[in-house]
Amino acid sequence: MLRLFALLTWLVLAVGLLSQGVLADPTPSQPTEASEPPAAKRRPTLELGGQVEIQADDGHLGNRNTSDSMPSVDGITRFPAATHLSIRRLRLVLTTHLGEDVDLVVQGHTDTRSDESELRDCYLRVNLPHDLTLLAGQFKVRFGREGLSSSTRTMTIERSDMSRALYQERDLGLNLGGRTSSGLTWDLGIFQGQGLNAGDQNSTKDASLRLVVPAASGLEVGLSGQVGTVQPDGSRLDLPVRRWGTDLRYKKGLWTLESEATWSDGWNKFSRVDSRAFGAYLGNTWNVSKDWDAVLFYDWFDPDLDRVDALVANNAFNARNRVVLGVNYYLDREAPHRLMLNYEVHRPCEGPRVEPDGWRLRYQLRF
Ligand SMILES: [Ca+2]
Ligand SMILES: [Ca+2]
């Protein structure tokens, strides 16, 4: 059933793309009179942007493994770490305007903390009639709120464990999105299902759906779903991926509330097996003054609702929560250009008690 649905959606999206002539070879127009000079060839225009994040992480946050002394960005940490300074993200985004309604977006990424340098985004964006937008290539799967948001807009320096474990991030595929006259936005996508910069390991495709409804003044409510399979590295087994989420954003006066919950019955990045998982967060930003925000954020996540490791602080099995107290100082809210300071309190809710509490400091500029 899933394979049939995936095939049909691929066909619909491909026909839409072809009908716009995006994939057709351009046919040079014939000059009407031989005496006229040939028209100058229109070249694509280029636009360069990006962002940089320089970050310090407190060694008390601990490490999830013993391979290095870097403080972890997530999970239950039980190994020592040292305070560390890193380029958390350096992103360069090249947008090529190929035509009036067609852009090619390519984004490169470097992270010295995890020693990563890789391609992140590479996709065609086609604006279609009736407020439709088609994305084709590698880009963020339209699912959830926190994971889908740019790191330049998140409330906290590091995202919740729920988003890190249950959000697909980037994948290779197609997404058709639109907006109705009532303001409802929708996205329907088909993906390989294997994640970032990975080839498909099986013949089935994942499907994703996201709806965002403007429910009341200042309030928007989102619903997301993803179904499919993943074949982990070194395995020949296809594990199911079934995720459903709901989220909201409510802004009133100086306060912005964001919340999200995701249910998963299948593979996730923390358990790495077919398990039932659940996570949620609730965050509030108080716009204290023109340049300052204060943030209070709580999140909870269990990567495997049916198992507990009573002996070891185990990231694959055990539930945990995190409280983040934060302040942001904006040099420019629009860019954004800001300094973020977070203090994170981590507590396992299952298994042995560890208390890897500590601070993070980030300088962030989008250009
Ligand atoms: Ca697949
Ligand atoms: Ca558990």
Per-residue confidence (pLDDT) for residue 234, from 0 to 100? 85
Ligand nearest to the CA of 310: 2
Q: Are 9 and 15 in contact (CB under 8 A)?
A: no
Name the pTM for this structure: 0.87
Torsion of CA 344, 316, 197, 113, to 10 degrees: 40
Ligand having the closest approach to the CA of 227? 1
Task: Give pLDDT, residue 2.
Answer: 43
pLDDT at 157: 98
Residue 314 Cα to ligand 2 midpoint, Å, equals 9
Alpha helices of 191-337 — where are they, by DSSP H?
A: none
Residues lining ligand 1 (ion), CB within 5 A? 192-193, 200, 202, 204
pLDDT of residue 214: 97
Distance 173 CA to ligand 1 centre (A): 10
Q: What was the pLDDT predicted at 30?
A: 46
**How far apart are the CA of 155 and the centre of ligand 1, in A?**
32
Q: How far is the CA of 207 from the centre of ligand 1 (A)?
A: 10
Residue type, position 149, single letter: S
Q: What is the pLDDT of residue 43?
A: 82
The answer to whether residues 189 and 205 touch, using CB atoms and an 8 Å cutoff, is no
**161, 315 contact by CB (below 8 A):** no
Which ligand lies nearest the alpha carbon of 200? 1
What pLDDT is stored for residue 183 in this prediction? 95
Question: All domains of the chain, ordered by start, with CATH?
Answer: 2-14+46-366 (2.40.160.10)
User: Minimum-distance ligand to the CA of 300?
Assistant: 2
How far apart are the CA of 231 and the centre of ligand 1, in A? 8
Alpha helix segments (H runs only) across the chain:
2-19, 161-166
Ligand that comes closest to the CA of residue 198: 1
Split the chain (367 residues) into runs of 10 and give each run's mean pLDDT: 42 41 41 58 90 98 93 95 98 97 97 93 97 98 98 96 97 97 97 93 96 97 98 91 98 98 98 97 97 98 98 97 98 97 98 96 98
What is the Å distance from ligand 2's center to 225 Cα? 23
Nearest Cα neighbor of 315 from 264, 350, 343 is 350
